[in-house]
Structure 1
């Protein structure tokens, strides 16, 4: 590595060489992904199919814009003699962690549909991992899955993107239009999130988490009951008929998230929604900011930092969405700090 820097004057190659060390995958990369896998955003969670898939995608430089849509999961190599992958428990990944085998050497890619029984068309990368279902499809209304996907992968919370000028025709019945008897609360606050969010969350209408069986449920053609709860809150509200989603935020101020103009902005199911989200400039910028913070151990603080973030975000997209390259470029920029 020293030779790459001094003799060859190639710090980027040196950064790639450093990432060949197994410790990169076992500690910083594991800690990088772990908070995305739980509502508490805690580092202190066992390895699971979500975090291991992130680690494997980085190792193999799988285009990271497939994170939310691919028919892909990583697991431990069957040759390790671990308990087999199960869609109903986390035993495989916990045994992998306990084994101490370096993750750099232990992981193999598999078709998610072969492991969890979903049709390939219903797989959506980490969104349909067991861990994501357990954390974000459990109970509720499936809005949690969307909110935490925004937080983790677009670096945005709903308050930051609310827009009270979008049509409210897809806001579900469970949202009161006059909370506390005051319609202004809905018109000036609630609608700002729900008018855009509810048409997107419709993508998850056939997904749920079975707490008893401990696994993701998928019922094609059958909207989950959670989408129809609390109908008396506003009877004229939207009744979800299927999993067709529309991105109302392609218009108005959230057009600044720079959605891919080559995509239609609508579709059916979690996979196509994952494509929509992960091909936005907001997704690329978010990955860049997260990697910068993980490597440099700080937020960007000045104009030079922000210019670097913008340049790396462009590089990320230009280099086939390689998250590994983002780690290398961040290390080069922050070296010596």
Structure 2
């Protein structure tokens, strides 16, 4: 009898520990995803899901909380919208569009080529300014008045409200144009697209072995009087990025709005003639010279040349590097650290497989699947 009591007590203790663990996991999962603790009702529902082996449903339940959109997603994406990689910027059309696409489960590869823009719905419960392609006032007020972005964003065709015909998802939003098309020669747009969506700055794809026939006239061929510097350093980045740069040939940010001038290359693209025999951009054609050689490992799709922003965005978002980058970014967000051990790195690749193929670029599913990895034992 005594032995039976001990066995029964041990089983009872084990079950209680398991149930307690499920509640802890649910609580942690909600905090990581929604950035706030769950209500008792939600916690109970999530705990039940986990006990029944449905941790993914628990994660999706946590993402029902408006704070997943108003806090977690908003502050995550803000960094992508400025050269300082700072979350301390106002809500803008770039951030709102990512939030809306995740909420509506639009295939996330379209973030770089879809004709999408999210603005405030007419049913928004507070008074805010109308959308204006020349300012950010509507989005500032949405944030200042703590409006639920989950409930009050509406999708519109970006091309219809901005007049830009070659729309490329967030790349042709006002916020992106303000940060990456203003001044300069539009090279920033290529660089920050790689950083944000391929998780690679140009140094990571530096390759001095590709042809330099697309390097523009504003790049010296003998910096400091030594042509070897150009051949062994400068060309490694400029050959690839200038090959892609034609995609932005018709874009500028002028008078507080994005400008698109089909058929007319903006003057700044060909300014500063330091080498008269350099490449002159005459249209919006581009070619991905990084598709061959050492950077073929990024898993580019079959089509590696084209015209304009939309086609470039499509190529980038169909690469293997895009899927792995998004998987890595989500892991770092919900697990609050970088993947460390080999098993976690393998999980990143598995999640990228799901994201790119089976889940049809579902960011919601990627968040749910990833958050389970670090909800604790």
1:323 is matched with 363
Deviation at 1:240, TM superposition (A): 0.6
Deviations 1:194-238 (A, max 9, x none): 11110101110000111xx2001111101111111111x100101
1:303 is matched with 342
- 1:83 touches 1:91 (CA, 8 Å); kept in 2? yes
- 2:123 touches 2:152 (CA, 8 Å); kept in 1? no
2:287 is matched with 246
| Counterpart Cα distance in 2 of 1:129 and 1:267 | 21
Deviation at 1:46, TM superposition (A): 0.6
1:258 to 299, 323, 346: 299
Unmatched segments (≥5 aa) in structure 1: none
Deviations 1:249-281 (A, max 9, x none): 1110110000012xx211110000000101000
Q: Aligned pair 1:289/2:328, yes or no?
A: yes
SS at match of 1:295: helix
| Counterpart Cα distance in 1 of 2:67 and 2:298 | 35
SS at match of 1:245: strand
Larger radius of gyration between Structure 1 and Structure 2 = 2
| Counterpart Cα distance in 2 of 1:101 and 1:198 | 42
| Counterpart Cα distance in 1 of 2:141 and 2:200 | 34
- Give matches, 1:23-102, under 5 Å: 23-80=67-124, 81-102=127-148
Deviation at 1:85, TM superposition (A): 1.2
SS at match of 1:78: coil
| Counterpart Cα distance in 2 of 1:228 and 1:317 | 37
- 1:68 touches 1:125 (CA, 8 Å); kept in 2? yes
- Give matches, 1:94-243, under 5 Å: 94-119=140-165, 122-210=166-254, 213-231=255-273, 233-243=274-284
With normalisation by structure 1, the TM-score equals 0.96
1:272 is matched with 311
With normalisation by structure 2, the TM-score equals 0.86
Unmatched segments (≥5 aa) in structure 2: 1-45
- 1:204 touches 1:243 (CA, 8 Å); kept in 2? yes
Equivalent pairs counted in the alignment come to 329
- 2:91 touches 2:140 (CA, 8 Å); kept in 1? yes
| Counterpart Cα distance in 1 of 2:350 and 2:263 | 44
- 1:68 touches 1:275 (CA, 8 Å); kept in 2? yes
Deviation at 1:168, TM superposition (A): 0.7
- 1:78 touches 1:84 (CA, 8 Å); kept in 2? no
Deviations 1:153-173 (A, max 9, x none): 100000110111111111000
SS at match of 1:208: strand
Deviation at 1:82, TM superposition (A): 2.3
SS at match of 2:185: coil
CA RMSD of aligned residues (A): 0.9
Deviation at 1:75, TM superposition (A): 1.0
